[in-house]
Chains A and B, each alone.
Chain A
């Protein structure tokens, strides 16, 4: 069965620095899709970025990028030049390509606090 684990419960960083949030996953499929979502203080959950397992190049969107290490089953989220408004809970998620229906399984989340 698929599983997603985020071991960092909470991270605090100074504004304008770079932060990396870790995520490891377990899957039996050779093809899968990895996502990061952000939950703001208001509770809203928004999609940030996606990595397809068959792509070697790390995905990048704005000041979000991914560190995809397939042999380690790891997909880290990197936020550069952090801003106060990046303070939120970040969730890693995985969708297997062929098995498990279309389930998107989430990790436990990492709380990011950005301070001045």
Chain B
């Protein structure tokens, strides 16, 4: 069953708190991504991971960090969350070197108050 799973689906945090968003995939895909979606801006790439412990910044990495210790699991961490990080976060994965289609999770709606 080809699936990307994100936890949690909804999250409310206060400004300054730490946030952990988790993502798992069951397809043994090498490449995984974190995007955020804001109205009118489409999907913006935060980080990309080519495999375990092989991560690279995307277009908007400031304020975020990632961890990938197992191929099937990719975490997004917000240290001391800010109100402008309120957004919907999508995790995705793709086979091989990223030329293939992306499989997306259902997203995590994060509100930072």
Residues of A within 8 A of B (CB): 6, 33, 35, 37, 42-47, 50, 91, 93, 95, 101-109
* Complex contacts, B33 vs chain A, CB 8 Å: 104
Q: How large is the interface on B (under 10, 10 to 19, 20 to 34, 35 or more residues)?
A: 20 to 34
- Give, as a whole number of angstroms, the nearest-CB distance from B102 to chain A: 6
Contacts A95-B99, A103-B59, A104-B33 given; does A43 touch B106 at CB 8 Å: yes
B: residues with CB less than 8 A from A are 31, 33, 35, 40-45, 48, 50, 56, 58-59, 88, 90, 92, 94, 97-99, 101-104, 106-107
Classify the interface of chain A: helix, strand, loop or mixed: strand
**Which residue of the partner chain, among B42, B45, B99, B107, contacts A107 with CB atoms under 8 Å?**
B42
With known contacts A95-B99, A108-B40, A46–B104 Cβ distance under 8 A: yes
